[in-house]
Structure 1
Amino acid sequence: MPSDQPSRATTTERLSDGTVQALPASVAAPLYDRGRVVPGIVQLGVGAFHRAHQAAYVDDCLAAGDTGWGIVGVSLRSADTRDALAPQDGLYTLAIRSSGEEKLRVIGSIGSLLVAPEDPGAVLAALTDPRTRIVTLTITEKAYLRAADGSLDDSHPDILHDLENPQAPRTAHGFLAEALARRQANGTPPFTVLCCDNLPANGATLHRLMIEFAGLRDARLATKGDTGLASHIADGVAFPSSMVDRIVPATTDADRARIAVELGLNDAWPVMTEPFCQWVIEDNFPGGRPAWEKFGVTMVGDVGPFEDMKLRLLNGAHSAIAYLGLLSGHATVDRAFADPAIRQFVDGLWAEAILTLPEDAGLDTSAYTAELAKRFSNTALAHRTAQIANDGSQKLPQRIIASAIERTEAGLLPEHLTLVIAAWIATCAGGKTLPENHFTDPLDAALAALLGRNLPMEEMVAAVFDLAGFAKDHAERQTLIEFVATHLVHLKQGGPVLAFAALGIRTGKE
Structure 2
Amino acid sequence: MRLSNKFLQSYRGTATLPQYDRATVAPGILHIGVGAFHRAHQAVYIDSLLKKSPEWGLIGVSMQNANTRDALAPQDGLYSVGIREAGDMSVRVIGSLMSIQQGGDAAIAAISDPRIRLITLTVTEKGYVNVGNINALGQTLVAGLAARAQNGAPPISILSCDNLPDNGARTKALVVATAQLQAPEILRYLEQSVSFPSSMVDRITPATNDTDRIDIQTMTGFEDAWPVITEPFSQWVIEDKFAAERPDFQSVGAEVVDDLAPFESMKLRLLNGAHTTMATLGPMLDCKYVSEAALDPDLAALIERTAKTEVFPTLTQPNDELNSYWLSLMERFRNTSMQHALAQIAQDSSQKVPVRLVPPIIENMNAGRPAPGLTLAIAGWIASIRQAERQGKQIFDPNAQILKNIANLSVTEMIAFLCAPGAQLDTLREMEAVQRDLAKHVGSIESNGARSTIQQTLSEL
Structure with bigger helix share is: 2
* Cα distance, 1:364–1:438 mapped onto 2, change above 3 Å: farther
Secondary structure of the structure 1 residue equivalent to 2:3: coil
- Root mean square deviation, CA, Å: 2.0
Unaligned runs of 5+ in 2: none
2:72 aligns to what? 85
- Aligned twin of 2:261: 304
Rounded to whole Å, the distance in 1 between the matches of 2:330 and 2:246 is 34
Instruction: Tell me by how many angstroms 1:447 deviates.
Output: 0.9
In the alignment, which residue of structure 1 is the partner of 2:105? 121
Q: Which residue of 2 aligns with 1:379?
A: 336
The 1-side partners of 2:121 and 2:260 are apart by: 17
Task: Supply the AA of the counterpart residue of 2:132.
Answer: S
Q: TM-score, normalised by structure 2?
A: 0.95
Instruction: Decide whether the 8 Å contact of 1:256 with 1:267 is kept in 2.
Output: yes
The equivalences for 1:306-455 within 5 A come to: 306-351=263-308, 352-359=310-317, 364-431=321-388, 440-453=396-409, 455=410
1:260 and 1:327 map into 2 onto residues whose CA distance is 35
Match of 1:111 in 2: 98
**Aligned residues of 1:341 and 1:505 also touching (Cα < 8 A):** no
Matching of residues 46-195 of structure 1 within 5 Å: 46-63=34-51, 65-116=52-103, 120-145=104-129, 153=130, 155-156=132-133, 158-159=134-135, 171-195=136-160
Contact persistence 1:24–1:263 (CA under 8 A): no
Moved more, 481-490 or 40-49: 481-490
TM value normalised by structure 1: 0.86
Distance 1:93 1:393, change over 3 A: same
SS of residue paired to 1:112: strand
Is this contact kept in 1: 2:388–2:395, CA < 8 A? Answer: no
Change (3 A) 1:284 1:489: same
2:170 maps to which of 202, 205, 214? 205
CA shift for structure 1 position 432: 6.7
Q: Please state how far the C-alpha of 1:59 moved relative to its aligned partner.
A: 0.2
Question: 1:126 offset after TM fit, Å?
Answer: 1.3
2:421 and 2:429 in contact (8 A); partners too: no
Counterpart mapping for 1:34-53 below 5 A = 34-53=22-41
CA contact (8 A) 1:401 1:470 kept: no
Question: In the alignment, does 2:5 pair up with 1:17?
Answer: yes
Change (3 A) 1:83 1:302: same
Cα distance per residue 1:436-464 (max 9 Å; x no partner): x87611111111111123x2x22221112
Aligned partners of 2:118, 2:174: CA distance in 1, in Å?
18
Quickly say closer, same or farther: Cα 1:154–1:335, change in 2 above 3 A: closer
Letter of the aligned partner of 2:170 in structure 1?
T
Counterparts of 1:154 and 1:125, CA distance in 2: 24
Rounded to whole Å, the distance in 2 between the matches of 1:285 and 1:33 is 28
Cα distance in 1 for partners of 2:395, 2:211 equals 21
Q: Secondary structure at the match of 1:104?
A: strand
CA change 1:18–1:233 in 2 (3 A) is: same
Q: Output the CA distance in 2 between the equivalents of 1:34 and 1:459.
A: 59
Is the contact between residue 156 and residue 193 of structure 2 (CA under 8 Å) also seen in structure 1? no
| Native 8 Å contact 2:82 2:230 kept in 1 | yes
Q: Do 2:262 and 2:317's aligned partners in 1 also have CA atoms closer than 8 Å?
A: no
CA distance 1:448–1:62, shift in 2 (3 Å): same
Q: Is the 8 A contact 1:387 1:439 kept in 2?
A: no
Decide whether aligned partners of structure 1 residues 500 and 42 sit closer, same or farther in structure 2, where only a CA change above 3 A counts. Answer: same
Who is 1:264 aligned against? 221
The 3-state SS of whatever aligns with 2:420 is: helix
Cα distance in 1 for residues equivalent to 2:107 and 2:418 = 38
Aligned partner of 1:465: which letter? Answer: C
Q: Distance in 1 between matches of 2:277 and 2:250?
A: 33
CA distance in 1, matches of 2:376, 2:421: 19
Counting only pairs closer than 5 Å after superposition, residues 231-246 of structure 1 correspond to structure 2 as: 231-246=188-203
- Structure 1 runs (4+) deviating above 6 angstroms are 432-435
- Partner SS state of residue 99, structure 2: strand
Say how many residue pairs are matched. 459
> Aligned equivalents of 2:399 and 2:200: distance in 1?
26
Rounded to whole Å, the distance in 2 between the matches of 1:201 and 1:247 is: 21
- Identity of aligned pairs, percent? 41
Q: Cα gap change, 1:472/1:229 in structure 2, threshold over 3 Å: closer, same or farther?
A: farther
The Cα shift of 1:21 comes to 3.2
C-alpha distance in structure 1 between counterparts of 2:2 and 2:143, whole Å: 37
Are positions 1:494 and 2:448 aligned together? yes
Distance in 2 between residues matched to 1:107 and 1:280, nearest whole Å = 21
8 Å Cα contact 1:344-1:505 kept in structure 2: no
Structure-2 separation of matches of 1:19 and 1:136: 30
Tell me, what secondary structure is at the counterpart of 1:192? Answer: strand
Q: Residues of 2 paired with 1:493 and 1:306: CA distance?
A: 39
Residue aligning to 1:483: 437
Displacement after TM superposition at 1:476 (Å):
4.5
Q: Classify the secondary structure of the residue corresponding to 2:256.
A: strand
- Residue 205 of structure 2: aligned partner: 248
| Distance in 1 of aligned mates of 2:277 and 2:350 | 13
Q: Within 5 A, what are the aligned runs for 1:23-34?
A: 23-34=11-22
Note the alpha carbon deviations across 1:477-499, whole angstroms, 9 max, x for none.
Answer: 32321121111011011111221
Q: How far, CA to CA, are the matches of 1:15 and 1:402 in structure 2?
A: 45
